[in-house]
A and B are shown apart, each in its own frame.
Chain A
Amino acid sequence: MRIAGERASGLYYFNLYEEIVFMSELHLNSLEITNFRCFEHLTIEKLGRVNLIVGKNSVGKTALLEALWLLNSDACWPVIHKILYDRNELVRYRLDAMASLTPMEQQEQMGALKSFFTGRPPKPYNQTKEPDPKFLYQDALACSFVTSTERFYLALRTVQNILMCSDSRNTSIPLINGFSFQPHHCPALPQKEALDYSVIEESKKFKTVFIPLAGLSWKATCTYWDDIVLTNKENEIISYLQLLDREISRFTFKGENMQDRVRYSVVKTGRFPDPLPLANMGEGIQRIFALALAMSTASNGYLIIDEFETGLHHSIQADVWRAVFKLAHEWNVQVFATTHSWDCVEAFQEAAAEDQNEEAMLIRLQRKRDGTGIVATPYDEESLKIVTRQGIEVR
């Protein structure tokens, strides 16, 4: 890393292409979540550039990723929809492209959205009184995400719209009464295919990519590749793939514009004269390829990964983490990943210790001793060193 100096706005440095990158402008340094899913009130005082989130089942690891995704995508509808469909909180898609919003669809979505708020409170609908659209009343559900630079509120008003508001922190505005919110009009339900494309579009717009448990979708992989092909980033991604297989020298998609053909990825290796389908080379390399593409799309933004270790053998996890640290730094990406695996924690620590920048943070979610909810316990690089050396259970 080349630190070029420090200004009022924080550290900045030049990236590989000699562009100035400000580190703290995009970074979330801290996060406070109120009333979202299982977090009545969760405070994470310090975040790193690369964050690994651990914890037992049902302590809200995925909920934390969702909060980050919503926050960093301005809670746009495609992301809201995607989250609700992935959790089966919404199950019905729209069939007819031309159809407009029906009252039933609206009710379905508002009902599903309740799951965002702690305890899914069955707030009474106050249908008789039409609320002033500019004000949020006590009968609304609201949650908030507060970072060092921003307060972000998401509220569900009783009648028709979700309301959202993002505001700079230096104005102190009460959350409920007398607070002006922007109405976020409920759209018609999306069509299945269209939703996937909207999510990809939003991920590019907000530079915020979410890799779900099942891996990056094929559509996203293709789109992200098309964005970097024949740029310098292409070479970096190839060198990243070489972590797994030194013989890989080139990569491309082969696609047929015919109804009975699919688009598929192929690599050129030193071993064979003909290109090989990437799918032939194992789960690990496909996962790594998707990870690198996601990081390039998330340049100057955020990458969110549910279960980092999926598809990765433990022997290569440290190498993959090394690459993540390197790319996160070079491409200015803040990374949030979850894991259940001790191997993954050890590999994360190993890569963090080698990395010259103090940028790693392990965040453990656990139920509080006194039973009053969930707490985030941070482990910085020094702590992590002791934890992994002494085999202290943190998962």
Chain B
Amino acid sequence: MVHKRENRRYGTNLPGLLLVEGVNDLNFLCQLFVKRGIYDYNKQENQFIPKSFSSKEKGSYTELKNGLVEELKDESLQAIGIVVDADENLQDRWKDLTKQLQKLEYSDIPNEPNPLGWISETKGKIPLGVWLMPDNTISGILEHFIAWMVPDKNENPLWNHVENSISNVPDRRFANKDLAKAQIATWLAWQKEPGQPISYAIFKKYVDPNSTSADPFIAWVKRLFQL
């Protein structure tokens, strides 16, 4: 028997479903939902308690994209959201998603992603929302979004030091697209408890869950799932 990787999911039998790429994204966003009052949290059991919508990671962008048709077969589903990285080219990612959504008979897809997060209103289909990390307007990844939530980022001496040291790193081995990843990893490495995952960063307020930079994303989630 082939060993199967289990996709992690929080929440079952809820009317909404949010799909994200990986486990890190999932845990970070769910922790953010807790701090923003969208999800509850059980401290004893150390568990997220989703309300209104479940969240689920698909392992990768490709898996997420290819699994959409199967997820949408669930007739009990009332709304579905997709959070993916824009990655190196926002336009390409949007076009690729557009192609897939058209196959699924979504017809009102704009040429450009909506800066406030897009939500389809195609008749006869359930609302489907797309958020391209970090903000639907630039290429990038979840870590850019997280970096904007660093408290007083521009005047923060530790953050400045993170940026400076990484730009001066000798024998730099990562590609430019992963710069934000390196910065967040370094930022986490130099906190009181070094080396914790990014979901923990919110919990410990290494990044500010109430940062206004996250407001448009939270507003999109609330619009999509009618919270």
Show the binding face of A for B, using Cβ within 8 Å: 318, 346, 350, 364, 366-369, 375, 377, 379, 383, 386-394
Contact = CB atoms under 8 A, between A and B. Distances in A.
Contacts of A387: 70
B7 A391 contact: yes
A389 B9 CA distance: 14
A389 B73 contact: no
Instruction: Specify the main secondary structure of chain B where it touches its partner.
Output: loop
B75 A368 contact: yes
Contacts of B4: 346, 388-389, 391
Contacts of A367: 75-76
Contacts of B58: 390
B97 interface: no
Contacts of A369: 75-78, 126
A342 B58 CA distance: 18
Contact of B67 (A366, A375, A379, A392): A392
Nearest to B8: A391
B74 interface: yes
Nearest to B77: A369
A394 B70 CA distance: 9
Nearest to A364: B73
B96 interface: no
B193 interface: no
Contacts of A375: 75
A390 B74 contact: no
A390 B67 contact: yes
Contact of A386 (B2, B6, B67, B76): B67
Contact of A390 (B2, B12, B63, B73): B63
Contact of B70 (A318, A350, A379): A379
Contacts of B66: 386
Nearest to A370: B75
Given A367-B76, A369-B76, A386-B66, A392 B1 contact: no
A159 to B, nearest CB: 40
Given A386-B66, A386-B67, A390-B58, A379 B7 contact: no
A125 B216 CA distance: 64
Contacts of A350: 1-2
Q: Which one of A369, A390, A391, A394 has the highest number of Cβ atoms from chain B below 10 Å of its Cβ?
A: A390
B59 interface: yes
Nearest to A347: B1
Interface in B74-92: 74-78
A390 B59 contact: yes
Given A391-B4, A391-B9, 10 more contacts: A346-B4, A350-B1, A377-B73, A386-B70, A390-B59, A390-B63, A392-B67, A392-B71, A393-B12, A393-B74
B65 to A, nearest CB: 11
Given A318-B1, A379-B70, A390-B70, A366 B76 contact: yes
Contacts of A318: 1
Interface residues of B, number: 23
A350 B3 CA distance: 12
B105 to A, nearest CB: 14
A386 B64 CA distance: 10
B1 A377 contact: no
Interface string B46-74: 00000000000011000100110111011
Contacts of A392: 67, 70-71
A368 B9 CA distance: 24
Contact of B75 (A377, A388, A390, A393): A377
| Nearest 9 Cβ contacts at the A-B interface | A391-B7, A366-B75, A369-B75, A390-B67, A377-B73, A392-B70, A386-B70, A387-B70, A386-B67
Nearest to A365: B75
A343 to B, nearest CB: 11
Contacts of B74: 366, 393
Contacts of B126: 369
A394 B67 CA distance: 13
Interface in B6-28: 6-7, 9, 12
Q: Which one of A346, A377, A386, A389 has the highest number of Cβ atoms from chain B below 10 Å of its Cβ?
A: A389
Contact of A379 (B12, B73, B75): B73
Contacts of A390: 7, 58-59, 63, 67, 70
11 contacts: A318-B1, A346-B4, A369-B76, A369-B78, A377-B75, A379-B73, A383-B69, A390-B58, A390-B59, A391-B9, A392-B71
A394 B12 CA distance: 12
Contacts of B71: 392
Contacts of B12: 393
Nearest to A374: B75
Contacts of A368: 75
A364 B72 CA distance: 13
A225 B71 CA distance: 44
Contacts of A388: 4
A383 B76 contact: no
A279 to B, nearest CB: 29
A379 B70 CA distance: 8
A320 B63 CA distance: 30
A40 to B, nearest CB: 15
A348 to B, nearest CB: 13
A297 B2 CA distance: 34
B70 A391 contact: no
A364 B5 CA distance: 24
A264 B70 CA distance: 47
B6 A391 contact: yes
B70 A383 contact: yes
Nearest to A391: B7
